[in-house]
């Protein structure tokens, strides 16, 4: 029986490549997208008979919850959830819900979507959750929970890297705590560092297109590497039953999160504060 796999952020970058590869392996693909035009283009690339698209804006948590419920209502079960959608914003923006944009899209949205899809994942014989994190998490500055979840203070383009890294550390911590909470169930949760990839590189920078072409010609940042690890964590028998891991494309080896993100008590605190914050929309 073909697996049913949800891939967020699948209309560009690593998500698109992973969705195509997973479909080639025989999976039924469910993608999320903000743009109907991009969703249609991606569906044509994958093959209209193998993919369904759900439209919504991940800066709006009501949209995230709606998409989750729509997917859960349509499908008997979900075998794999790949939380890939993300953004590196080079200037501060606040979402309609009042959250910092990078925190909302990179962390709160996947937390909420995972929460909403858990019943469908539990109906699968053996489900996997794969969260795309990053080694940028090691340059996160000072972690402050719960303040970081709602911090809309200004930052510069240079300072954006620290904010982005912090959201990726939150993803890793979320994965570790989720794996503990799912222990003894049929669901595993792992995250990964996809390495440096030119696909979608710094899309907000004016020179991003030129830089991507130059790096591609130099064969720097091949997105196939990051895509391969996403696909492996989603489907490879090597990872059956393995949970709570943070893996890198560099030798497909397991990494330890940078402190304090490696502290189970801090991971549990993050979960609690996130749950309290999103309780009104998660119900």
Neighbours of 24 (CB within 10 A): 12
> Could you count the other beta carbons within 10 Å of the beta carbon of residue 33?
26
Looking at residue 200, the DSSP 8-state letter turns out to be T
Angle at 7 between CA 167 and CA 264, to 5 degrees: 40
Angstrom distance (rounded) from CA 274 to CA 250: 31
Look up 164 and say whether it is catalytic: yes
Q: Which of 99, 107, 164, 246 is catalytic?
A: 164
Q: Do the strands 253-254 and 246-248 form a parallel or antiparallel pair, or are they unpaired?
A: antiparallel
Cα(27)–Cα(4) distance, rounded to whole angstroms? 6
Residue 135 DSSP one-character state:
G
Contacts 24+ apart (CB under 8 A), 238-244: 239/128, 239/188, 239/190, 240/126, 241/188, 242/188, 242/190, 243/179, 243/182, 243/183, 243/188, 243/189, 243/190, 244/175, 244/176, 244/179, 244/180, 244/189, 244/190
Q: What is the DSSP letter of 153?
A: -
Residues 249, 228 contacting (CB under 8 angstroms): yes
Q: Which residues are catalytic?
A: 164
């Amino acid at each position: 029986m073909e697996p049913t796999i949800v891939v967020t952020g699948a209309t560009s970058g690593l998500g698109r490549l992973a969705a195509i590869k997973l479909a080639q392996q025989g999976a039924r693909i469910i993608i999320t997208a903000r743009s109907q035009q991009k969703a249609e283009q991606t569906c044509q690339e994958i093959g209209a008979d193998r993919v369904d698209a759900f439209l919504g804006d991940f800066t709006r948590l009501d949209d995230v919850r709606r998409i989750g419920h729509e997917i859960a209502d349509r499908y008997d079960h979900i075998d794999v959830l790949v939380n890939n959608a993300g953004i590196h914003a080079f200037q501060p923006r606040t979402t309609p819900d009042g959250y910092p944009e990078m925190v909302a899209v990179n962390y709160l949205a996947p937390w909420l979507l995972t929460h909403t899809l858990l019943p469908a994942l539990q109906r699968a014989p053996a489900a996997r959750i794969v969260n795309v994190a990053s080694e940028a998490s090691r340059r996160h500055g000072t972690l402050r929970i719960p303040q970081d979840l709602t911090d809309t203070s200004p930052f510069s383009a240079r300072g954006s890297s620290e904010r982005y890294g912090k959201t990726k550390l939150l993803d890793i911590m979320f994965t570790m705590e989720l794996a503990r909470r799912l222990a003894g169930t049929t669901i595993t949760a792992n995250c990964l560092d996809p390495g440096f990839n030119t696909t979608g590189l710094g899309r907000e920078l004016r020179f991003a297109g030129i830089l991507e072409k130059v790096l591609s010609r130099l064969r720097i940042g091949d997105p196939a590497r990051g895509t391969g690890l996403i696909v492996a964590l989603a489907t490879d028998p090597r990872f059956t039953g393995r949970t709570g891991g943070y893996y890198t494309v560099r030798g497909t080896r397991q990494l330890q999160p940078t402190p304090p993100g490696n502290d189970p008590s801090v991971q549990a605190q993050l979960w609690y504060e996130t749950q309290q914050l999103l309780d009104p929309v998660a119900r």
